[in-house]
Structure 1
Amino acid sequence: MTFSLNPADLEALLDFYVAAGVDCALADEPVDRFAETARAAAAAKSRAPSPATPGERPFAAPNRSGTQPPDGQIPGRQIPARQAQAAPQPRPAPGQASKPAPSATPPGGATIPGDEAVMAARERAAQAATLDALRENLAAFEGCNLRLTAKNLVFADGNPQARLMFVGEAPGREEDAQGLPFVGRSGKLLDRMLAAIGLERDEVYIANVVPWRPPGNRTPTPQEAEICKPFIRRQIELVDPDVLVFLGGASAKLLAGTSDGILRLRGRWLDYDTGTRPIKAMATLHPAYLLRTPIQKRLAWRDFLKIKAALDGRG
């Protein structure tokens, strides 16, 4: 039995592969990574020593020194790892309060991003007095490893004097190749959305939270976004737009500090402090989402009408 796909289905399949980061062929035949992992696990299991039978206790070489083993250890007996880690700690002297041992995990199990990288990013961003200086500082910044796999720094596009600024999450394959944000299929749709409210691309300013493309178009990790956050906040401060638009829920959650989903958040006016003044901000649906779900374009159209009204002083 043979199956055939029409050109539209093939094009949709290729678009899916590109969006997932599959943009080149490495071999003629597919590689089953799951089978490789299973073989590696089986090989490791075969090399592992067989466990002791019930009733047996593993012993080390007997203590021939004649000295008393430390901590009451039985001569020749190995201390299990967990028992060794739980060795009794010295008691504090009378009158001194005992100090709790430092914990490697923050309260609540939260993961703190690399503090040194975040602090370095804040210092670099604060030193920039202009957008050009900010771009230079960002290009020289070594605290985010995404720069090692990306082809280009994707800083911004459009008019730095614009009253309207858009912020997305991270660049994709086309953006990484050209060094400009929103130039692929999502960018072309954004251009048409702007044209629908009477604006051209050179009348707005466009940037991303993360200026380097993550490998395979994956979502940036919270640590990567937190490290890049000082730069985009400084970028917004230097542009100082009248209206700020978050393209997608990721940029809205990071910069507006909200936990609402994009469908609940979109279309609502938020307050954003640029560092010099409060401005209007709104989250709307990302163009990439609209390409996958065209029926939701009606919601984005309502958002863009509100944005246009605000620029005209009517909203």
Structure 2
Amino acid sequence: ISQQVVVESCKFLGVVASSGLEGMESSLLMALLKPLDAIQKGTIAVSDQPVASILPHLFGAVMNLMEPGDSKKSQEALVNAMLQLSVELLSKSGDNSELTMDVRQATERMLSTCLKNEVVTAGRQRAIGVDMAKKEQWDAWATVCLRSNVALQSSIDMVGQSLTDMNPVRHLGAVGGLRQIVQGSKSIDKIGILMKGAGAELIGLFKTYGTLSVDIKDIHANRMTMAADAMKILLVTYQQFTSRADTDEMLHALLPPLLEVWIEIIRFNGLPNQASPQPGAEPTLGRIMAQSIVHVARTTPVAFKASMGALSDHTRAVLEFAVRSDMSGYSAAGAQAPAKKKLNLKNFRK
């Protein structure tokens, strides 16, 4: 049988499943589950081209037979089986090399459908989140937590533990998972859970990589990747906290430590117009931090001014020099940081 015939047959099963024909559900479901069972058992590989072609159609057909809110035993067994298969497939994906985009998207849709069903209890969601975090399957963990605050809340402490380890492999995976959640979610609640549970550890790790303050294996090789992911998380969090009036408290809690770490990274790495004598200094990192400070000063001048009040005189001088350097295009090569001159915040009003 040609692959095209198999694919078209699976499409037809999806049409039949969506038609609601009575009396056919059991036979149809058996036809759909056999190949899915073979995939789960590893009899056939999900990376095989025929499987990659038909699995989205199989999942689509099964979802048509899953009625949200239906707690019948048969439906409960089906939902739990599909939930387990979805999580297993996402866990195997790792760097997504095994799953085509179509298969991944179909698997994520199946996961979402299962998590919305009332038979998947909060306890089950917590167990899945913890299990994924324990196994450090961060791609699957992020996919689950994007769809379940319960799973995120139950496992976020374990992410923090990974960020305080000395193993850079754990760092990269955990931070990558956090980035996926922050970039994929528009929920203030979700980002609040993430920052409360692992925000301090993330900022601390960002400082470690930005200033090379700890001798970690391969820290130089992973430095820019870590900095890029951490900055994405922190800036998206900042943007979310500035999008609503009821998040002022979160914003005022975030900015002081954020400014502190940005300034520390500038102090270590220097700027394009102010070279640093530190071994491993990277002025590009300093410039990115300076640009971020200017962005914060321009978009939230009141909160920025309040946060500056918590800085020491020397730290504030570095901040002011970085802001002026960035706004002038780093034209004054070799300029010295002013010690006392105040920054005119009127320049940053919207």
More strand by share: 1
TM-score clears 0.5: no
TM-score, normalising length: structure 2: 0.24
Larger relative contact order (CA 8 Å, sep ≥ 6): 1
TM-score, normalising length: structure 1: 0.26
Rg (Cα) greater in structure: 1
More helix by share: 2
